Chain A
């Protein structure tokens, strides 16, 4: 591996137009979310749709606004798999939350 490969790579960075497009996409997705709430879609469908849209929005912000798409892959691999794993681990408590209403003594 030569020293030259360590040079900072800033080739093909995003343009102002790209940022504007991402901003418009984020606004449209927010509009869809508000529309879903206004139409009172069934809870589980709504939750799935809102979470899906939120994750897409977060990915767009991280990739373009936070510039991660244009950083080294090693930075992404150092930071995100661990974060996603820890967040998924938190799901372990939700089973208890579902059981609690049935376990309450009658009032």
Chain B
């Protein structure tokens, strides 16, 4: 598999590490135990198009959001995580 890193260009799979579903958002500090439980444990395992977290650890160290079809491995979009390459944006 090859992933087009928005910073580095197309690279081979070995440079990347997979984490999992990129959809769940870490709950706010006061969200309560159920919300955190949901975030930590209740994950979808989609047969089809999925948004995933990938880390370009063997390259530029950017975390990426990769839209991938888990059945065909077709990658339709790759975008940087909110905090990757974000120095042009104010804190």
Query: Is the A/B pair a real complex?
Result: no
Residues of B within 8 A of A (CB): none
Residues of A within 8 A of B (CB): none
